[in-house]
């Protein structure tokens, strides 16, 4: 029986999904891409899960890239299919109705950086390295790297990373807006779980609304996006969580959100 390329564990309402391919520095092959898609579908459907943390097993890599051994023999049509498979899986993560935090514990290169960028938030160890080195293989980013980089850090930085293929350290990634936070490597797990717990205790439907509005608005003209936000704002007034949150604020107590 083939060993699963994922390690999945729950801690309260936080589910951790770790890519576990130690002999490949957690590189993404077709089987791992499919397992990630299934794992995120399951997390989205599980009412007990409020936040997902995605990371790489071991101390060296988050995900070192796509599996070059698998890619090397692909035809043009197969290459396109591989790209679409990975890109659709990552778009699924991006559209998750629950917050997803990338815990970047080491190398996040090529497909690994693309995977991290598909998550809603990214916390990196100060020892992490990120980059899009595909040009060094005669390739281009195929899982959304050219598109998400330009949206996160602008055209100039996206071009530099993709054209040179040179990795950057975590401090530079923070400066460019590719990651949200950088912490000492020894504190990475604790800091990530602290943030995950904070989000897990927040109002799930409100978080879902924020994720939906930001994702929709990023692809929509401002006027239309503002109308969409107002509609979603109105919808949350129908929730028990909105009543609980406002009542708790007025009573000066901590709210207990139920996701209803």
The residues annotated as belonging to the active site are 114, 134
**In what order do the strands lie in the sheet containing 61-63?**
61-63, 107-109, 129-131, 168-169
3-state secondary structure of 27: coil
Phi-psi region of 154 (alpha: psi -120 to 50; beta: other; left: phi over 0): left
Tokens encoding 130: 């990120």
Of the candidates 120, 123, 145, which has an alpha carbon nearest to the alpha carbon of residue 134?
A: 145
Tokens encoding 160: 């530099």
- What's the count of helices (H) and strands (E) in the chain, helices before strands? 11, 10
Of the candidates 177, 36, 59, which has an alpha carbon nearest to the alpha carbon of residue 115?
A: 36
Tokens encoding 213: 């509005």
Burial class of residue 177, CB neighbours in 10 A (0-12, 13-18, 19+): middle
Lookup result for tokens 């101390």: 59
């Amino acid at each position: 029986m083939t060993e699963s390329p994922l390690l999945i564990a729950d801690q309260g309402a936080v589910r951790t999904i770790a890519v576990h391919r130690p002999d490949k520095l957690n590189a993404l092959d077709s089987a791992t891409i499919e397992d990630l898609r299934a794992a995120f579908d399951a997390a989205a459907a599980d009412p007990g899960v409020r936040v997902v943390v995605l990371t790489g097993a071991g101390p060296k890599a988050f995900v070192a890239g796509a599996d070059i051994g698998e890619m090397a023999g692909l035809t043009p049509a197969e290459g396109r299919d591989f790209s679409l498979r990975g890109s659709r899986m990552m778009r699924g993560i991006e559209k998750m109705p629950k917050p997803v935090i990338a815990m970047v514990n080491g190398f996040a290169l090529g497909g690994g950086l693309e995977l991290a960028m598909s998550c809603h938030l990214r916390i990196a160890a100060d020892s992490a390295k990120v980059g899009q080195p595909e040009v060094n293989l005669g390739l281009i980013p195929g899982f959304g790297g050219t598109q998400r980089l330009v949206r996160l850090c602008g055209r100039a930085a996206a071009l530099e990373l993709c054209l040179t293929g040179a990795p950057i350290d975590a401090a530079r990634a923070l400066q460019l807006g590719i990651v949200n936070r950088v912490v000492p490597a020894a504190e990475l797990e604790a800091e990530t779980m602290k943030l995950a717990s904070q989000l897990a205790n927040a109002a799930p439907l409100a978080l879902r609304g924020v994720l939906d509005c930001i994702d929709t608005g990023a692809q929509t003209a401002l006027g239309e996006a503002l109308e969409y936000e107002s509609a979603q704002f109105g919808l949350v007034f129908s929730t028990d969580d909105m009543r609980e949150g406002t009542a708790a604020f007025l009573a000066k107590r901590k709210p207990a959100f139920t996701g209803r």
